[in-house]
């Protein structure tokens, strides 16, 4: 077991996603089976007593990797010396709320948290934004965190990737572990583009492109895409609650691969700052296929983009440009 302890912040720590996520961190699923952690658990003052119950459960789980736990409603205390910040807490969209209202409410939250990252956290803190609208919340935190490298800000689209992989596996009648390199482009919203074209399936006959294994282009360019785009809403309709355990699993996957690296030949989807790759607008937080090594990600280059894909990438890019414009107006007010 490592003597080094890393400080891991989880915001919205009394919420249902965090309730699954915290124990993934405690078990070593995120940072490795030998990595000790100090948990910084932040929520609003009303939820601190609930967090005391979570601490009891962590203690009762007897996790050897947990070195210490801080529970707090104080932003400065929560963000101090943090190496990894997982920003789950956000203002949820309420019935009748316009998207601009949601962006404004979250701009205020993530401006404060961005400043806190810059002023109190480790100078190379790595940030994953989960709270929606995740791409633009990550962008707000990034522009508010002077001095923190912009490439250290990411948002979660791994849940969408996992959903896409699962749909492909179900359609092909294979185990999900045999489905590789499905991509999510763009925004974590209903405009995202789940892209099967560069992916493959390990069949008994060998490595097979998804489009060859599933000879149903109508499904691949229709129901497959719309099912993944609308999956979050479908879960809410069925459970009357949003995705929690699957979101926690995706957060764990995202951080694990970013910190510990992706397998050779494998790429994963992460919302990262755009450098203009694939015709996207520079400076957005945009989901790309990436490879990870030594704690850094690299956007996969040179993938073929057909006209069908180009149009869908433009649609999600345009939505993110609009969100960015609205959010930056709120920040300047």
Give the full edge-to-edge strand order of the sheet including 206-209: 179-180, 200-203, 206-209
Statement: residue 99 has pLDDT above 80: no
Q: Does residue 94 have a known ligand-binding role?
A: no
Q: Quick one: pLDDT band at residue 241, thresholds 50, 70, 90?
A: confident
Between 263 and 94, residue with greater pLDDT: 263
CA distance 303 to 278: 9
Token representation of residue 8: 């891991």
Q: Quick one: pLDDT band at residue 313, thresholds 50, 70, 90?
A: very high
Number of other residues whose CB lies within 10 A of the CB of residue 53: 10
Q: Does residue 163 have a known ligand-binding role?
A: yes
* Interval 181-239: pLDDT, tens: 999 999 999 999 999 999 999 999 999 999 999 999 999 999 999 999 999 989 989 99
- Grouping H, G, I as helix, E, B as strand and the rest as coil, residue 21 is helix
Long-range contacts formed by 68-72: CB under 8 A, 24+ apart: 68/5, 68/38, 68/39, 69/38, 69/39, 69/41, 70/38, 70/39, 70/40, 70/41, 71/13, 71/41, 72/40, 72/41, 72/42, 72/48
Q: Does residue 106 have a known ligand-binding role?
A: yes
DSSP line for 190-208: TT-EEE-TT-EEEETTEEE
Q: Does residue 132 have a known ligand-binding role?
A: yes
Q: Quick one: pLDDT band at residue 323, thresholds 50, 70, 90?
A: very high
Residue 260 pLDDT? 97
Q: Quick one: pLDDT band at residue 96, thresholds 50, 70, 90?
A: confident
Over residues 270-298, mean pLDDT: 98
Statement: residue 97 has pLDDT above 90: no
Question: In this structure, are residues 203 and 212 in contact, taking their beta carbons and an 8 Å threshold?
Answer: no
Active site residues: 188
Question: In this structure, are residues 304 and 289 in contact, taking their beta carbons and an 8 Å threshold?
Answer: no
Closest of 188, 189, 191 to residue 287, by C-alpha: 188
The alpha carbon of residue 253 and the mean position of all alpha carbons in its chain are separated, in whole angstroms, by: 9
Q: Does residue 239 have a known ligand-binding role?
A: no
* Interval 44-61: pLDDT, tens: 999 999 999 999 999 999
Question: In this structure, are residues 222 and 308 in contact, taking their beta carbons and an 8 Å threshold?
Answer: no
DSSP state of 186: B
Q: Does residue 28 have a known ligand-binding role?
A: no
CA distance 214 to 165: 13
Residue 332 pLDDT? 85
Residue % of the chain over a pLDDT of 90: 92
Statement: residue 86 has pLDDT above 90: yes
């Amino acid at each position: 077991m490592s003597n080094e302890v890393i400080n891991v912040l989880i915001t919205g720590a009394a919420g249902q996603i965090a309730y699954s996520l915290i124990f993934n961190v405690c078990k070593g699923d995120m940072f490795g089976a030998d990595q000790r952690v100090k948990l910084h658990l932040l929520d609003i003052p009303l939820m601190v007593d609930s967090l005391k119950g979570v601490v009891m459960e962590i203690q009762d789980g007897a996790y050897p990797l947990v070195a210490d736990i801080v529970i707090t409603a104080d932003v400065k205390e929560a963000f101090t010396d943090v190496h990894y910040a997982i920003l789950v807490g956000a203002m949820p969209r309420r019935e009748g709320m316009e998207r601009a209202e949601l962006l404004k409410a979250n701009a205020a939250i993530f401006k404060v948290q961005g400043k806190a990252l810059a002023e109190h956290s480790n100078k190379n803190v790595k940030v994953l934004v989960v709270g929606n609208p995740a791409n633009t919340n990550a962008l707000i935190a990034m522009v508010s965190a002077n001095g923190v490298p912009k490439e250290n800000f990411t948002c979660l689209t791994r849940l969408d990737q996992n959903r896409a992989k699962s749909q492909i596996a179900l359609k092909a009648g294979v185990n999900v572990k045999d489905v590789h390199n499905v991509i999510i482009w763009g925004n974590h919203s209903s405009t995202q583009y789940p892209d099967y074209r560069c992916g493959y399936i390990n069949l008994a006959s060998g490595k097979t492109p998804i489009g060859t294994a599933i000879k149903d282009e109508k499904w691949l360019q229709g129901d497959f895409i719309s099912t993944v785009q609308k999956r979050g809403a479908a879960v809410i309709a069925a459970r009357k609650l949003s995705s929690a355990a699957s979101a926690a699993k995706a957060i764990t996957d995202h951080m694990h691969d970013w910190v510990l690296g992706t397998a050779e030949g494998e790429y994963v989807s992460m919302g990262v700052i755009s450098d203009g790759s694939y015709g996207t607008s520079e400076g957005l937080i945009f989901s790309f296929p990436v490879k990870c090594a030594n704690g850094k990600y690299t956007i996969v280059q040179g993938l073929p983009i057909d006209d069908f894909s180009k149009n869908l990438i433009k649609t999600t890019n345009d939505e993110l440009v609009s969100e960015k414009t609205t959010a930056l107006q709120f920040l300047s007010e």
